[in-house]
């Protein structure tokens, strides 16, 4: 595939999508965002694109339905290359939004396209909103000592651009964890060092979370997030760092590096 072919990025105006488009542009490729407006006329939105970055919105109600519609339109538009933004441990039946990504992985593998699947862990950037306030805090509704292969969103985006622009990744599924398996207790300690201020690590009960940070959510999203917290509480989300290290042209960023960069 030409390295300058246009890539359609589903969810390209969201948090991850903006980072992916910027990484693609940095690699010399043009990219086009697909969102709610473009869903009304997918053939027009996909016309002229060589590749599709298939990324559903966070906690999408019907991720397989959305993926099916976009994959069908991509096939009809002659898009031959598809990279799917999945998640670490997609086949986790206790987490509906993970399981939906496992279903989409199957759709992608049987789509007829030249596919690659990326399985990122949770982003380090997810803790930033709580750390940017007057009283920095990390509030979670799961065991602060469970570990996660937290990953830098910028590194994920760069890996996405790399696989989108090189055919050697066709048929590959890459788990994308950061360089360390870290607990939220460790993240809070690193944040204290970076900010040179105390960081409160709050352990909420699921009831407190539902009445607090989760109160205004759509009930289905709240239920799915509670299912995720319950899984995290029991197992964390350990995610290997080897594939990301191999895809990047620099060492993957650890928690301290990302927090220093983002909170400076
Ligand atoms: N956050 C993490 O730690 C993490 C880790 C691993 C994987 N992921 C996955 O990464 C993906 C992206 O998450 P995100 O938080 O970056 O997304 P996001 O900020 O929620 O962005 C989603 C974008 O999707 C578009 N959108 C919304 N509803 C749509 C619909 N019905 N049809 C088509 N497009 C629609 C919107 O674009 P418009 O405004 O243009 O309509 C929106 O900007 C999710 O699948 C998530 O599960 C996240």
- Residue-wise pLDDT tens digits, 162-221: 999 999 999 999 999 999 999 999 999 999 999 999 999 999 999 999 999 999 999 999
pLDDT tens-digit map of 41-78: 999 999 999 999 999 999 999 999 999 999 999 999 99
Paired tokens of 248: 């990047």
The three-point CA angle 125-16-13 to 5° equals 130
Spatial CB neighbours of 193, under 8 Å, sequence gap ≥ 6: 256
The average pLDDT across 134-140 equals 97
Percent of the chain whose predicted confidence (pLDDT) is above 90: 97
Is residue 4 pLDDT above 50, yes or no?
A: no
The rounded Å distance from CA 197 to ligand 1 centre is: 32
pLDDT-based confidence at residue 3 (cuts at 50, 70, 90): very low
The rounded Å distance from CA 64 to ligand 1 centre is: 14
CA distance readout (Å), 155 to 24, 126, 142: 12, 14, 26
What integer pLDDT is reported at residue 167 of this predicted model?
94
The average pLDDT across 248-263 equals 98
Ligand 1 binding pocket mutation candidate from 32, 40, 57 (most atoms within 8 A of CB): 57
Is any atom of ligand 1 closer than 6 Å to the C-beta of 120? yes
The rounded Å distance from CA 44 to ligand 1 centre is: 21
CATH number belonging to domain 7-121+153-177+239-249: 3.40.50.720
pLDDT-based confidence at residue 122 (cuts at 50, 70, 90): very high
pLDDT-based confidence at residue 5 (cuts at 50, 70, 90): low
Spatial CB neighbours of 255, under 8 Å, sequence gap ≥ 6: 124, 150, 178, 180, 182, 186, 187, 190
Is any atom of ligand 1 closer than 6 Å to the C-beta of 129? no
What integer pLDDT is reported at residue 264 of this predicted model?
84
Contact indicator for 165, 29 with CB cutoff of 8 Å: yes
Is any atom of ligand 1 closer than 6 Å to the C-beta of 35? yes
Q: What is the bridge-based pairing of β-strands 31-34 and 51-54? A: unpaired
Is any atom of ligand 1 closer than 6 Å to the C-beta of 170? no
The rounded Å distance from CA 10 to ligand 1 centre is: 8
Is residue 88 pLDDT above 70, yes or no?
A: yes
Is any atom of ligand 1 closer than 6 Å to the C-beta of 85? yes
Mean pLDDT, the chain, as a whole number? 97
Contact indicator for 206, 226 with CB cutoff of 8 Å: yes
Please report where in the chains the tokens 């993970």 appear, as a residue: 98
The rounded Å distance from CA 196 to ligand 1 centre is: 33
Domain spans of the chain, in order of start: 7-121+153-177+239-249
Is any atom of ligand 1 closer than 6 Å to the C-beta of 69? no
pLDDT tens-digit map of 216-235: 999 999 999 999 999 999 99
């Amino acid at each position: 595939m030409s390295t300058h072919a246009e890539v359609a990025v589903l969810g390209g105006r969201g948090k991850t999508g903006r980072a992916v488009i910027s990484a693609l542009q940095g690699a010399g490729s043009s990219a086009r965002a697909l969102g709610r407006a473009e869903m009304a006329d997918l053939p027009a939105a996909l016309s002229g694109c060589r590749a599709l970055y298939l990324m559903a919105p966070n906690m999408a109600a019907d991720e397989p339905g959305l993926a099916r519609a976009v994959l069908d339109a991509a096939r009809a538009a002659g898009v031959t290359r598809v990279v799917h933004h999945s998640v670490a441990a997609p086949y986790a039946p206790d987490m509906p939004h993970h399981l939906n990504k496992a279903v989409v992985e199957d759709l992608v593998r049987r789509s007829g396209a030249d596919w690659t699947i990326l399985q990122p862990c949770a982003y380090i950037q997810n803790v930033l909103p709580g750390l940017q306030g007057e009283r920095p805090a990390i509030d979670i509704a799961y065991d602060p000592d469970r570990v996660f292969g937290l990953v830098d969103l910028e590194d994920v985006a760069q890996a996405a651009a790399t696989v989108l622009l090189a055919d050697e990744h066709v048929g590959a599924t890459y788990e994308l964890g950061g360089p360390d398996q870290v607990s939220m207790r460790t993240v809070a300690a690193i944040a204290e060092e970076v900010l040179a201020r105390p960081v409160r690590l709050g352990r909420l009960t699921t009831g407190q979370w539902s009445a607090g940070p989760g109160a205004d959510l759509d009930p289905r999203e709240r239920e799915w997030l509670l299912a995720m917290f319950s899984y995290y509480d029991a197992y964390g989300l350990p995610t290997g760092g080897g594939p990301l290290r191999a895809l990047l042209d620099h060492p993957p960023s650890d928690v301290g590096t990302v927090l220093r960069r983002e909170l400076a």
